[in-house]
Amino acid sequence: MPNNIITVQHLKNYFGDTCVHEDVNFSVNSGEIIAIIGGSGCGKTTLLRSILRLMMPTAGSVSVFGTQVLTANAQDFLAVQKRWGMMFQGGALFSSLTVLENVMYVLNEYSSLSYRSQKAVAKLKILMSGLDLNAANKYPSELSGGMRKRAALARAIALDPELIFLDEPTAGLDPKSAGDLDDLILSMRKNLGLTFVMVTHDLDTLWYVPDRVIFLGEGKVLADEPMARLHKNTHPMIQSYFSGHRAKEVHHAE
């Protein structure tokens, strides 16, 4: 029986008179990799922010690990928060801290480990993210785009979370770096049992990484199915999304 770790029900998001989400419903099971896609303005990042309680939706409920995060008290919400990690689109690394210090920051804030242990754990997470330890003492400005993404992922897994949110993980990367990051996500799921929820528009990633793809449109979930079925979905908005020459080139490569 599936072990649901995220359940979103009747989520609504209005900004003034503008409706972004009218009735969004979906669930995520433990160990899955789920991608959220849709046209510009459909509210992909807004949905992530609602789940993370970075913003309060207009209505609806969000359950993560059995806790209603939108109504949870500070103590209960923190307990859930420690079980997830977030990799923001731009990395959101502290520019004045080294990679090592960025990862240690999370451990210093939310763990009771000694400084020595924090340093050891941070180095391990940096290695797990695919970075060489030579990168540990570099500042974000000294890293390539791919290295910054990996550093952000190292920070996201600092507290051994069970669930990782990724906002456009391959955006701005060259094909080789993007492919390597895709492989890393799959490897982490296999070796660490992690669950991933990603917002992406990278068609190569969509064909290769997620188990299911959630397509947002018209204020709701228009489809929730594997990519192999989604690209054949007859809904006009979905057909339009996949009708561009780039989408056709990726499908042809398949």
Does residue 233 lie within any of the structural domains? yes
pLDDT at 253: 43
Closest to 15 measured CA to CA, from 52, 50, 65: 50
> Residue 38 is which amino acid?
G
Does residue 225 lie within any of the structural domains? yes
Does residue 132 lie within any of the structural domains? no
DSSP the chain: ---EEEEEEEEEEEETTEEEEEEEEEEEETT-EEEEEESTTS-HHHHHHHHTTSS--SEEEEEETTEETTT--HHHHHHHHTTEEEE-TT----TTS-HHHHHHHHHHHH----HHHHHHHHHHHHHHTT--GGGTTS-GGGS-HHHHHHHHHHHHTTT--SEEEEESTTTT--HHHHHHHHHHHHHHHHHH--EEEEE---HHHHHHS-SEEEEEETTEEEEEE-HHHHTT---HHHHHHT-SHHHHHHHHH-
Among all chains, which residue has been given the structure tokens 């996949």? Answer: 242
pLDDT at 216: 96
Do residues 241 and 38 lie in contact, with contact meaning Cβ atoms separated by under 8 Å?
yes
Q: What is the CATH number of the domain that holds 229?
A: 3.40.50.300
- The 3-class SS string of 3-22 reads CEEEEEEEEEEEECCEEEEE
pLDDT at 138: 94
pLDDT at 243: 83
The count of other CB atoms within 10 Å of the CB of residue 226 is: 11
Does residue 116 lie within any of the structural domains? no
Residue 11's domain comprises 1-83+204-254
Does residue 110 lie within any of the structural domains? no
Count of structural domains within the chain: 1
Distance CA 208, CA 24 (A): 25
> Residue 243 is which amino acid?
S
pLDDT digits (tens, 9 = 90+) for 159-179: 999 999 999 998 888 898 899
What's the angle, vertex CA 97, arms to CA 121 and CA 155, rounded to 5? 40
Q: Let me know how long the chain is.
A: 254
Closest to 146 measured CA to CA, from 99, 181, 103: 181
The count of other CB atoms within 10 Å of the CB of residue 249 is: 10
Does residue 140 lie within any of the structural domains? no
Does residue 189 lie within any of the structural domains? no
pLDDT digits (tens, 9 = 90+) for 120-155: 999 999 999 888 999 999 999 998 888 898 999 999
Could you say which residues of the chain have pLDDT below 50?
1, 249-254
Does residue 27 lie within any of the structural domains? yes
